[in-house]
Structure 1
Amino acid sequence: MSKLLIYLLIAPFSLLLQNDNFQRMEDIEEFRKGIEQMAANTKSIKASFDQSKYLSILSNTVESSGTMHFKKPDLLKWSYTSPYNYAILLNGEKIKINDEGKVNSFDIKNSKIFKELNDLIINSVQGNVLQEERFNISYLENNKLYLARLSPKEEQLKSYIKQIDVYFEKSDYTVNKIQLFEHEGDYTLITFHSKTINSSIPDSEFSFQ
């Protein structure tokens, strides 16, 4: 599998949060119930995001921003609007990449790692990512955020992903930030803002036509 393609898939879904005042979560069961209820009640999400991707080989940070649309059960679109126009569309069966009008399509079912990444992305955005059969999970919190720190158990996924940190708002259990560490030391920071939950999103939003 192309290293570049793996980067394109996982780059938008991680961060490095430079805040170490997290402590062990006091009530894990209450947190899990809140996340489950939020995920069950969430039919769609619209949000803006800011992203910083650090590449250790270049020793610099690439900044970008755009919008994210999610609609149950498995429609997800990331649209980058700055500094370039670029979009990634996942629909449960295919991953489509639109690079300023040039569209490439990849079948998810033909690759286990594609399927793993698709499920991870959808579940992370929706908040339904606490799958202990696939991850070892540590639960932390500070005064504003919950943190679920996930370490993959599966060897194939571990070869691409070292650790995933998902941050949730304490006020409504929605995802605030998502973290993914790569083994090479690279990381991506993505911050959600202007979130709108359960607004109407037409299916046409999830198309490059």
Structure 2
Amino acid sequence: MVRALILLLMLCGFTLPAVAIEDLPAVLARIRQAATGVQSLESDFIQEKDLAMFATTIRSRGHLAFMRERRLRWELLEPSASGFVLDGEHGRRWHNLQGKDERFDINDDPLMAAISGQLLAWFRADFTWLQQQFRIELLDTDPVRLVLHPLGDKGPLQQIEITFAADDRSITRVELTEPDGDSTRLVFEHTRINPTLDSAQFR
């Protein structure tokens, strides 16, 4: 039956729709332009981490706030509270279960520099920065879905898949896949564009 269907499609000259690679620059330019109108953003998110070895999913809920002046707040609220804030070059991270609450400077903390740099690049649509770190592939245009493949040594990530909202101004879903089969999904909901945010929450 499957062979017959394939043969029929071939005889009818049917071709599956594909996204042309030359569409990528135009799509990135469109998203970059849409992002210029986003001065602040606030969203809830659900994080699901699938652990291949244990065949289990760890589910968390969180909240994020972003302001274009390099301000970011990323926190998990359930089941335990942890997160970080960034205000320019300086930030603070905390983990309630571990009793940690400490300041950091991204110039002296490569890990926090990498994490915050990637998140800021997503929300600012900084494809210049992203293309220095990843090869970007266009999967779909409605909505836009991109796959980011790490350049050089893959390290802890195999790929990142990002889905944008219909208006291109925000992200609705991110899936990070690791070489060992583990994966993490982030689903963003109740996103608000250009809300008035209190700068105190970034300290």
Q: Indicate the residue corresponding to 2:185 in structure 1.
A: 189
Residues 189-198 or 74-83, more deviating: 74-83
Question: What are the ranges of 5 or more consecutive residues in structure 2 without an aligned counterpart?
Answer: 1-15
Q: Indicate the residue corresponding to 1:137 in structure 2.
A: 136
Residues 58-67 or 25-34, more deviating: 25-34
RMSD: 2.5
Q: Which of these residues, 20, 24, 30, is aligned with residue 19 of structure 2?
A: 24
Deviations 1:164-204 (A, max 9, x none): 11111233342111222222221111101111111111210
Q: Indicate the residue corresponding to 1:109 in structure 2.
A: 107
CA distance in 2, matches of 1:24, 1:127: 20
Q: TM-score, normalised by structure 1?
A: 0.76
Gap change, CA 1:92 and 1:55, over 3 Å in 2: farther
Q: Which of these residues, 62, 76, 79, is aligned with residue 66 of structure 1?
A: 62
Larger Rg: 2
CA distance in 1, matches of 2:110, 2:79: 32
C-alpha displacement of 1:103:
0.5
Tell me the number of residue pairs that the alignment of Structure 1 and Structure 2 aligns: 184
C-alpha displacement of 1:54:
1.4
Answer whether contact 2:24 2:137 (CA < 8 A) is retained. no
Q: Indicate the residue corresponding to 2:30 in structure 1.
A: 34
Q: TM-score, normalised by structure 2?
A: 0.78
Flag the structure with more relative contact order, 1 or 2, with Cα contacts below 8 A and sequence separation at least 6: 1
CA distance in 2, matches of 1:148, 1:183: 19
Structure 2 SS opposite 1:109? coil
Answer whether contact 1:44 1:201 (CA < 8 A) is retained. yes
CA distance in 1, matches of 2:65, 2:131: 27
Identity %: 23
Question: What are the ranges of 5 or more consecutive residues in structure 1 without an aligned counterpart?
Answer: 1-20
Gap change, CA 1:114 and 1:83, over 3 Å in 2: closer
Gap change, CA 1:113 and 1:88, over 3 Å in 2: closer
Q: Indicate the residue corresponding to 1:125 in structure 2.
A: 123
CA distance in 2, matches of 1:173, 1:58: 37
